[in-house]
Amino acid sequence: MKIDKKYYGILIAGLAAIFWGLSDTMSDALIKLEHLDSDLLVSSKMLFAGFVLIVYSYFKSGRKKTFGILTNKKDAAHLLVFLIFGMMLMQLAYYKTMSYSDAPTATILQFTSPIFVVIWIAIATKTWPRRTDVIGLAFALLGTFLIVTQGNISSITIGSKALVWGIVASVTSALSILLPGKLLKNYGSMIVVGWAMFFGGLILNVQHPFWTMPKLSPLGIMMYIFVFFFGTVLAYFMNLASLRYTKASTVSLMDSFEPLAATVASVAFMHLNIGIVEIFGMILIMATAFIMAYGSSKEEPL
């Protein structure tokens, strides 16, 4: 039976988000059980994944387009800003958050990035956000509050370091969406993200070279391969491919499966204990994606 292209796009976008969520939990296990430094995990993963994306772009798009972003001084400078303040800091902040908390908490805090995107666009365009944006942001803020405080502001359950790094992860995640606009239009996502990951990985390898990686157990090696291949390269391929078959708003909606997968995997394999309040907070934040996706199909953009 032939699958409708729209539903095929939804399927692979959902699988990409699930791979990201499972990768989040495995990264958490690598950091806490295999004692792999979070900075070293980021530096090696970005370098290897960036290299694979560039090689793929070279054979798919050709040498001229793949390296054209580096020969144009203005675009190269734009790429540098994006890879430092978007891609590199986002990866570092996310894994720092995870090292001070757990995979679901880090993913949920980063998932609040639409707050900063909507605020920035409202300021830049000097227009009020749409009603659905305001409702979505309210859900995200309330959900984050419940996760951080368990509903009791006098009893904050998340560490200050995790909260600060989580906010940084959210802001830089928003920057990773806002910064590369023109580059993505001119060169495509694969080339821009490939070079950003590769050069970001090179920069981080100066202090955390991949050859200093500790000896991992057989299970640890399998988890690292999953994080690198399924959670980075393949998930990114699938996420991009889904845009060929369905709308970007739908793909964004499917991203809500990432924190859900991370939470389920952490409960199952990392023995994470979460309460009703935190679960409700996660549901509220994941609902933000649905609300904003619905709004984008019903209202004019900002």
Per-residue pLDDT averaged across 2-19, rounded?
Answer: 77
**Separation between Cα atoms, residue 100 and residue 169, nearest integer Å:** 13
Confidence of residue 257 (pLDDT cuts 50, 70, 90): confident
Cα angle at 18 between 130 and 87, to 5 degrees? 65
**Separation between Cα atoms, residue 23 and residue 7, nearest integer Å:** 24
Inter-residue contact 97 to 169 (CB < 8 Å): yes
pLDDT digits (tens, 9 = 90+) for 166-217: 889 888 878 877 788 788 788 887 888 889 889 999 998 988 888 888 888 9
Burial (CB count <10 Å: 0-12, 13-18, 19+), residue 123: exposed
Global pTM? 0.75
pLDDT digits (tens, 9 = 90+) for 108-124: 777 777 677 777 777 77
**pLDDT tops 90 at residue 104:** no
Least confident of 100-109, 258-267, 291-300: 291-300
pLDDT digits (tens, 9 = 90+) for 31-79: 888 888 888 988 898 899 899 999 999 998 889 989 999 999 999 999 9
**Separation between Cα atoms, residue 113 and residue 134, nearest integer Å:** 14
At a CB cut-off of 8 Å and minimum separation 6, what does 135 contact? 291
Angle between helices 89-100 and 160-178 (to 10 degrees): 160
Q: Which residue has the higher pLDDT, 17 or 104?
A: 17
